[in-house]
Amino acid sequence: MAGEKGYTYRALDLKEIQNQLHTRFFANDDRLIFVPIIDSTNIRAMQLARMGAGEGTVVLTDSQTAGKGRLGRRWVDVSGCNVLSSTVLRPSFPPYLLVMLASLAVVDAISETCDVVATIKWPNDVLVGNRKVAGILIETSHDHNGQLIAIMGIGVNVNGYPLQKSADEIETSQDEYLPGTQATTLETESGYTVSREALIASLLQHIESSYLALQQEAQETVATAQGSISRLVREQWRNQLSTLGRPIQVRQGNMLLSGVAEDVNDDGELLLRDHSGNRVTISWGDIGYPTT
Ligand code: BTN
């Protein structure tokens, strides 16, 4: 079947994922759920989690009809070309560490699978150069026992070409206000077709290993995840941030702030030095890299 600009795609090969997967239990056996077309893998994963699905349950699809992006936006895909995955987690550590863990896992999986160098735009967009190749949406809730549920949704633009937005989408998309937020795909960046199955297997291995290490640390220290594993995750995430040290624009709803991204604090918040010399702590928003 032909996708964007004639790209030929095929359905996700679950056997191939299972062959390449070396996780302890993430996505093993009935923890791997594939639905060819779905509204949103995050929606399905949250439903399953509320019904008691265990951590490490992974929902995959070839296409979403109502993919969810950050800050209430839509996440649009080209059928059969992307990684669209949601993982059920029940973290005993603060969710901001999941943001770091997920973006690091995507960067590492990309580097292992297709030798493309990716970086992180605060807080968790994954870029190649100045173009976005992957997005992460972490949604939280509580189950009937009051235990925290987190759904880690990851969308990676793998094969084909970047989606051209319709005029209507461009008009309503906040991304378009911000330079440095156009999309790319791994195929565009590497010059060859990339195995979605290999990327998924690598991604899940990275997620599982960091998640289990953080869970163990949280349970041992019975504290707010201040141990050495969480410190390492923070440091690795900070080192991968392409945002630090450069002029940025921050969009928060209708408000636009600008200045220099100086650093991040222990909770992952961004510390912006604005043009009046004030240090502003940014806990949410979209970052753009001005071109002039
Ligand atoms: C962003 O806005 O950058 C986050 C995009 C997250 C998209 C992924 S695709 C798989 C999962 N299911 C969803 O509906 N959204 C996430």
For residue 99, the tally of other CB atoms under 10 A from its CB is 20
Contact (Cβ atoms closer than 8 angstroms) between residue 77 and residue 62: no
Closest residue CA from atom 7 of ligand 1: 155
Contact (Cβ atoms closer than 8 angstroms) between residue 272 and residue 257: yes
Most confident stretch, 9-13, 190-194, 221-225: 190-194
Whether the pTM exceeds 0.75: the reply is yes
Tokens 């010399």 -> residue: 277
Query: pLDDT band at 276, cuts 50/70/90?
Result: very high
**Using one digit for the tens of pLDDT, what is the confidence trace for 40-97?**
999 999 999 999 999 999 999 999 999 999 989 999 999 999 999 999 999 999 999 9
Nearest to 207, CA basis, from 120, 290, 136: 136
**Using one digit for the tens of pLDDT, what is the confidence trace for 195-252?**
999 999 999 999 999 999 999 999 887 655 568 999 999 999 999 999 999 999 999 9
Tokens 């699905």 -> residue: 53
61 CA distance to ligand 1 centroid (A)? 12
Is ligand 1 within 6 A of the CB of residue 80? no
Q: What are φ and ψ of residue 217, in 5° steps?
A: -60, -45
Residue 203's identity, in one-letter code, is L
Is ligand 1 within 6 A of the CB of residue 68? yes
Q: Among 75, 79, 132, 151, which is best to mutate for testing ligand 1, by the most ligand atoms less than 8 A from CB?
A: 75
Is ligand 1 within 6 A of the CB of residue 69? yes
**Using one digit for the tens of pLDDT, what is the confidence trace for 147-173?**
999 999 999 999 998 875 544 443 334
Alpha carbon distances (Å) from 216 to 17, 93, 179, 200, 226? 27, 10, 40, 24, 12
Longest dimension (CA), the chain: 57
pLDDT in the model for residue 1: 45
Is ligand 1 within 6 A of the CB of residue 153? yes
Q: Among 85, 136, 137, which is best to mutate for testing ligand 1, by the most ligand atoms less than 8 A from CB?
A: 137
Is ligand 1 within 6 A of the CB of residue 86? yes
Measured CA to CA, the distance from residue 176 to residue 171 in angstroms comes to 8
Beta strands in 92-178 (DSSP E): 119-121, 125-128, 131-142, 148-157
69 CA distance to ligand 1 centroid (A)? 5
75 CA distance to ligand 1 centroid (A)? 6
* Ordered DSSP codes for 155-217: EEE-SS-PPPPPHHHHHH-SGGGSTT--B--HHHHHSS---HHHHHHHHHHHHHHHHHHHHHH
pLDDT in the model for residue 221: 73
Is ligand 1 within 6 A of the CB of residue 136? yes
63: left (phi over 0), alpha (psi -120 to 50) or beta: beta
Measured CA to CA, the distance from residue 217 to residue 92 in angstroms comes to 9
